[in-house]
Amino acid sequence: MLPHPSAPLSAQLLAAAGAVRAVLSGQSLSDHLEQVPLPLRPAVQALSFHAMRHLGYARGAMLALVPREPGDPLVRALLLLGLCLMEASLARTDDRAPGPGTPIYPPHTLVHQLVEAAAGERRCRPAKGLLNAVLRRYARERTAVAAQVIAQPEACWNHPEWWISTIREAWPDHWQDILQAAQRPPPLALRANSRAVTREALQSHLRAAGLDCHAVGAEGLILESPQPVRDIPGYDLGWWSVQDPSAQRAGHLLPLADGQRVLDACAAPGGKTAHLLERHSVRLTALDSDARRLARVADNLKRLRLESANVTLRCADAAHPADWWDGQPYDAILADVPCTASGVVRRHPDIRWLRRPDDLARTAALQAGIVDALWTTLAPGGHLLYSTCSIFPQEGERQIQAFMRRHTDAGRRAAPGHILPGHDQEGDGFFYALIAKTR
C-alpha cells in the first residue's frame, strides 16, 4: 500500500489509528470508515483491516514492552497499529511472513511516520518519545518478545479467548483452520446478473479488460486480483453484484416457481433479493427493520435493472407480522436472520473484537423469535430457507433442531448445513437449513 499522493503517510496512520480506536470503543469499522474523507479511505481501510487481523498479537507485544499501557485511547491505538505494521515489516523473510496485500513499510520509515502522526495531534504529542522507544525496542527484541507473546491464545490466534474456545468446542477437528482462514483477506467474488449477461460473457468482458477470473458456483466469478468495484466493467450496466460464493447459494436452495408469492425477510442490503428476482418472476416482498439499509436494496435493484420487477419494500420488524403482513400466506420465505456474523470475520475483521460472549445467546433468542413468527405466514406446502453467516452451532444447527421440536408441521429438506471457511471452495462461513411446511 503506497501513500496516497495527496496525503502523507503520517496522516494515513493517524486516521487509521482513529479507526482502531473506534473499534476498541465499540464502533463498527464499516460505520467509522464512512466518516473518513474519500481520498484517505482506501489506505485507512487497508491499514485498519490489517490491524484488526493482528490486534491480539499487538496487544500482547504492547503489554510485554510497556509496563503501563497509555491512558489516552488514540495513543494506545497508534501504538497498537505501529506494532502490527512493524511486525509485518520484520516478518517478510520468516515463517510469519504477511500475506498478499499487507501494508509494508521500511522499519525506519514506519517509526518516523508514526512519530510524525503523533506530532500532528496535540493530545498525542507527549507520547512521541514513547512511540519511538517502544517500536525501536520491538525491532531489536522481536524474537524474544514474540516467543513470550505467542504463547498467549489471543496473541497466537488473534481472536478473543472466548471466541477461540467456542470455535474449538464446536469444531474440534477444524478449529485451527477456521481461525487461520479468518486471517486471510477474502477474494472479490461477483455474481453474474442472469437477466443481463451470462457468466461466460461477463468472464470474457473481464478478461478483455485485463482482469483474470475463474468460475465458482453457478453464476459466480472470483477475480484473481481485487479491484475498485466501480472500475470493473459492467458495474453501471447492472451486469453483476458483489456477493460471496457461500451467500450465492441461497438463490438456488430456495425452491421457487414463477408467479409465487415470496418473502425475503431481513433483506438488506439486497444481494439475495436481487438474486431471487434474477432467477424467477415472482411477487416478492423485501422486508427489513432498518430504513437506511432498506434504501440500499432499492438502489441495488435499480442498478441491476430490476426496479420494474414485482417487488415491494417494507420497513418493519420480521418478528412482528401484525405490523406488516396482509394475511395472505407466502409460498416461500428466505429468512436470512441477524447473527454474530462469525462466518464473515475475514471480510469484517473487527467483528471478533466487537462481539461479547453474551451476544451469542442474545442473537440466538432473536433468531428463534423471528423464524417462529415467519412460520405463521408460510403456506402449507411452502418452504422456508433459514440462513445465517455464522459458524456458531447455537445460531445454526442447534437453532434448527430446537425449531423442529417446537413445530410438528415442519420437515427438513436437503441443504448444506454449516459451511466452514477454509473448507468450502472460496466462500465465507455460512449455515443453511431448508424447512417445508407439511400441513
Q: Report, as residue numbers or ranges, the catalytic residues.
A: 389
Query: Exposed, middle or buried by CB within 10 Å (0-12, 13-18, 19+), for 183?
Result: middle
| Residue type present at position 303 | R
State the DSSP code for 235: T
For the stretch 255-286, what's the b/e string if a residue is b when 16 or more beta carbons lie within 10 angstroms of its beta carbon?
A: ebeeebbbbbbbbbbbbbbbbbbbbbebbbbb
Residue identified by cell 442472469 is 194
Cβ atoms of residues 334 and 265 within 8 Å: yes
From the list 74, 153, 173, the residue with the least C-alpha distance to 117 is: 74
**For 336, phi and psi rounded to 5 degrees?**
-90, 80
Please tell me the chain's helix, strand, coil percentages from 3-state DSSP, rounded to the nearest 5: 50, 15, 35
Instruction: Give residue 330's Cα distance to chain centre.
Output: 30
Alpha-carbon distance values, 60 to 13, 118, 145, 301, 375 (Å): 21, 22, 9, 46, 47
Helix axes 9-24, 107-119, angle to 10 degrees: 70
**For 49, phi and psi rounded to 5 degrees?**
-65, -45
Record the cell numbers describing residue 187, joined without a space.
Answer: 477474494
Start-end of H helices in 171-270: 175-181, 199-208, 245-248, 250-253
From the list 183, 15, 9, the residue with the least C-alpha distance to 105 is: 9
Cβ atoms of residues 437 and 409 within 8 Å: yes
- For residues 61 and 80, what is the distance between their CA atoms, to the nearest angstrom? 9
